[in-house]
Amino acid sequence: MTKSKIYKYTAILVFSAIVVTGIVYSQLSNRHKAIVKTKALYLTGLLDSNWTVASGTQEYNMVSPTFLIDGIYKSMEGPKASRYIQLNQTEKLLWIKGFEVQALDANTNAVLSNDYICHMNVDINDVKYYHHWQLNDRIGKQYPRLTSLSQGLERFDFPEGYGVPVIGNDFLFVTSQTLNQNIPDIFKKVKHKITVKYDASKNPIKPLMSKTVFIQLPFDKHDPFKGPLDPGSNQCIPVETKNHTYEDKNGNKLSGHWVIPTGAATYRSSIKEQLQIQDSARLHFSAPHVHPFATAISIYDKTANKTVFTCKVTNYKDKIGLKAIQPFRSETGVWLYGNHDYELVLNVNNTAATEQDMMGSMFLFFHDRELEQKIQPQ
C-alpha cells in the first residue's frame, strides 16, 4: 500500500472517529457532558487540575482544581472534582466542628456569590471508622455520607460542646460541584475553597452520629415520564431512572430526584426505616439539602401528630437560586423515638414558567451515647 493511501485511510479513520465522538457527546446529558469536558480539559492541561492544601492546627483548608462554567448547569449537573483528605498524619483523636465552602474567581481569588456552588459532600470510610471504635454492627447500614453543604447552606458549625470524632489520619472523601442557574452566555473559571474546622484539644466534647434521611416518591416503573399526574396521587415523575432511584420492600420504584410543576405543592414520605432508631435518640443538628423553589423542610411526628422542627428556605427574588437554608441547631436537643413514625415534609413553590427538578433531604446529627462510652476510656 502506498503512503498516499495510508495517509488517506488514516485521515478517514480520524475523521470518522471525530464524527462518532461528536455524535455520542451530543447525546449525553448535561451532567455527563460536564464530566467528559472537565476530564479532557484537565488531561490536556488547559485547566489547572491540582488541589491546593493548607492544613492548620484547627482548620483544614483546600482549594479545588479550576472549573469552567460555560453554560447553564442546574443542580448536580456542573463540573466537579473529588479527593481524599486526612486532617493530619497522626492517630490523635480530633473533633470536627464545622464545614465551609466558598466560590472563588480562579483568576483573581475574589470571593464569588453562592451562584456557583451546587454542593460539597464529605464521605467517611465507614468500615475503617466503625471498626476503630469496635462498632462493626454499624458497617454498611447507611450510605457513608457524613454531610453535605449546598447553595443556601455554604457553612455551618455544630452546637457548642458537640462534634464528630475522627482519627487524624482517617481518610475523608470530599467532592465539590459547581452550579450556574441563571447565565447562559458565560465563560468563567471558578474554584471552590473548602474548610473543615476541628478541635484538637482535650476539652470534653460529646460525639455526634450522622444519619441521612430523604424524600422518596413512587413513580410508574412501566411509564415513568408520563404526565400530568393526579395532584393527590403522591406519585412523581422522576428526573431520570438511573440515579437516585430506589425500590421498597414490595418492589415499587421510588425516586429521590423528581420534577415539580409550576405552583405550590407539598411532598412527604416516611423516614422511619432510614432513621433506624432502636429506642430513642437526641437530635442536636440538621443540615438540609433542597433545590431552588423549596420554601421549607420539616420533620413531622405522625405518632404524636406534631411537627418536630421546620427549616425555612429563602429563595432569591430576582434570579433562580437559594439565598439561605436555615439549619436546625440545639444544644439541649430534641428526642426522637424508635416506636414513632416520622415523615420528611417538603414545601415548594415553583414560580418559574416551566417544570423544575427537586430533592429534599437532611443530614441529622444525634448524640452518640454508644460511641461516647467507647471514647471516654481513651
CA neighbours closer than 13 Å in the CB half-sphere of residue 255: 24
Instruction: Summarize the confidence of residues 268-287 as an average pLDDT.
Output: 96
Q: Domain boundaries in the chain? A: 1-45, 46-206, 210-375
Q: Which amino acid is at 250?
A: N
Distance separating alpha carbons of residues 330 and 296, to the nearest angstrom: 18
Q: CA 118, 159, 368 angle in degrees (round to 5)?
A: 95
Distances (CA, A) of 365 to 146, 167, 308, 328, 375: 9, 19, 15, 10, 18
Amino acid 249: pLDDT: 85
Q: Which of 23-27, 136-140, 359-363 has the lowest mean pLDDT?
A: 23-27
Residue 253, CA distances (Å) to 221, 244, 250 in order: 6, 11, 9
Q: Identify any residues that bridge with 180 across adjacent strands, giving them in sequence order.
A: 73
Structure confidence at residue 148 as a pLDDT band (50, 70, 90): very high
- What is the pLDDT averaged over residues 81-106? 95
Angstrom distance (rounded) from CA 288 to CA 147: 9
Residue 105: predicted pLDDT:
97
pTM exceeding 0.85: yes
What average pLDDT does the chain have?
Answer: 91
Report the pLDDT averaged over residues 144-167: 96
Helix (H, G, I), strand (E, B) or coil at 107: coil
- Taking domain 210-375, whether its CATH number is 1.10.357 is answered by no
Place of cell 426522637: 336
Say what the pLDDT of residue 26 is: 61
One DSSP character per residue, 134-162 reads: T-GGGTTSS--EEEEEETTB-EEEPPTTE
In one-letter notation, the amino acid at residue 172 is L
Average of pLDDT values for 358-375? Answer: 95
d(CA 337, CA 332): 16
pLDDT the model gives residue 13: 65
Q: Which candidate, 152, 194, 189, 154, places its Cα nearest to that of 78?
A: 189
- 210-375 has the same fold as 46-206: yes
Percent of the chain predicted with pLDDT > 70: 92
Distance CA 149, CA 357 (A): 18
Query: Pick the residue with more confidence: 32 or 288?
Result: 288
Name which of 276-280, 330-334, 372-376 the model is least confident about.
372-376
Q: What is the mean pLDDT of residues 60-74?
A: 96
Among 1.20.120, 2.40.50, 2.40.128, 2.60.120, name the CATH number for the domain at 46-206.
2.60.120
